[in-house]
Copies of this chain bind each other. A is one copy, B any other.
Amino acid sequence: MASQTFVKTRLMTPGPTTVPPAVLLEMAEPIIHHRTKQFQAIFAEVSQRLQRVFRTEQPVLTLSGSGTTAFEAAQISLAKPGSKVLTIGAGKFGERWQDIYDTYAEVLGLTENIKLNVPWGQAPTADQVDEVLKANPEVSIVTLVHSETSTATACDVQAIAKVVSQTDALLLVDGITSVGTMPVEMDAWGIDVLVTGSQKALMLPPGLGFVALGERAQKRLEEVKPRGYYNLDLRKWLKSWQKQDVPFTPPVSLIRGQRVALEMIEAEGLENVWTRSRLLAQGARAAFVAMGLKLISDSPSDSVTGAFYPEGINDSKFRAGTRDDQGIHIAGGQNGRGASWKGKIFRISSMGYVDSGDMLAALTAIEVQLIAGGHVIKPGTALAAVAGVLQ
């Protein structure tokens, strides 16, 4: 590998992920105006295809911005004044949603931001949520991360949704690295709000955020008096959506590209996409374990897989090695309130436009760099392990 002078780039970071060439080319088409029948048809098709990916018959709104924009809009548009909120933290992103309600507590008139913190690498459980909700019937919102990217951990959304749906609280699920990768059944599981971004499993560049609103959430929107947030007021977006429109000039080229990416997902079949992502993640986990690495999660997600570095491996050198020698871009760790994993872990994605060939290349690069860093394993260990899963 070291003598190879042609290096092909593979983006294995958990977002942004690789965008398929067909999508890139669609976005390179001449720009069209958003107040035209041509754009309206594209937007309508995107909206309908999103519903099928979100497994919902309810509106899926397309906002300009990032996944954070979309989740923040949901948080501030739906919290009831005079109520408490329950924010579940089990990693960097869960902590971000906690921060957002801290930031807005006064403006939204919240009486308490109850933070349920779970150690990084563990998943919050339905029992834990149930306990807090029983003790705090005035909770109006529960925020939950389905697949916590920073810890490569997935929780049992279905079980937690069952608990929350028996209360007056709405469940806001961050599906940013789960929608389009792992089974998420918005309607069947009774999820009130499901959010994702364009730059993960939906195979687009960053720039769009999506918010699906269940019936209870739509009802809440009518009940809660607007408290500002012009751009982030979901009422505006829902009202426009009902006319298959957008309230502000939308990123038309991204929306065009999204149509093609969603078409690709449906052509493959959403369940097949889930299976592919799961097998790739299982392969990664098997390879990591075979190479003697400790996984960062007790409850691994199928969208991203992480491991602690073994003794003696330097994070910067390791990731520069996979990138420069083998073209494999992987992510390091993040610091948050619950843990400081910068320099201690690395993570690879199995979301979106990635196949077994990409995963084999990535795992080989990781093995080569581990060996180069002094970790004693037999060459071929990773591939032998992953072959058992993928074949």
Contacts and interface: CB of A to CB of B under 8 A. Distances in A.
A222 interface: no
Please indicate which of the listed interface residues A19, A72, A231 has the most CB atoms of chain B within 10 Å of its own CB.
Answer: A231
A248 B231 CA distance: 17
Contact of A31 (B16, B29, B69): B16
Contacts of A65: 64-65, 69, 231, 248
Interface stretch (A213-221, A250-258, A286-294, A309-317): A250-258
Interface string A15-50: 111110000110111111110100000000000000
A207 B31 CA distance: 13
Interface in A58-114: 64-69, 72, 76, 99-100, 103-104, 106-107
A71 to B, nearest CB: 10
* A: interface residue count bin: 35 or more
Given A19-B30, A249-B206, A228 B68 contact: no
A206 B251 contact: yes
A240 interface: no
Contacts of A69: 64-65, 231, 248
Interface in A295-335: 329
A234 interface: no
A353 to B, nearest CB: 10
A183 interface: no
A205 interface: yes
A32 B323 CA distance: 12
A207 B251 contact: yes
Contact of A27 (B18, B28, B34, B329): B28
A249 B18 CA distance: 15
A18 B33 contact: no
A65 B68 CA distance: 12
B30 A228 contact: no
A230 interface: yes
B248 A205 contact: no
A199 interface: yes
A373 interface: no
A169 interface: no
Interface string A216-253: 00000000001111111000000000000000111111
A9 interface: yes
A11 interface: yes
A13 interface: yes
A180 interface: no
A197 interface: yes
Nearest to A31: B19
Nearest to A69: B231
17 contacts: A11-B31, A11-B32, A15-B249, A18-B31, A19-B253, A33-B329, A64-B65, A66-B248, A66-B249, A68-B230, A99-B230, A103-B230, A106-B227, A107-B107, A205-B254, A206-B252, A251-B251
Interface of A: 9, 11, 13, 15-19, 24-25, 27-34, 36, 64-69, 72, 76, 99-100, 103-104, 106-107, 197, 199, 205-207, 226-232, 248-254, 329
Listed from nearest, the 8 A-B pairs whose CB atoms lie closest are A207-B251, A28-B28, A205-B253, A24-B28, A206-B249, A66-B248, A104-B228, A64-B65
Given A33-B329, A68-B230, A205-B254, 20 more contacts: A16-B32, A16-B34, A16-B252, A17-B31, A19-B31, A28-B28, A64-B207, A66-B249, A68-B231, A68-B248, A68-B249, A103-B226, A103-B229, A106-B227, A106-B228, A197-B249, A206-B251, A206-B252, A229-B229, A251-B251
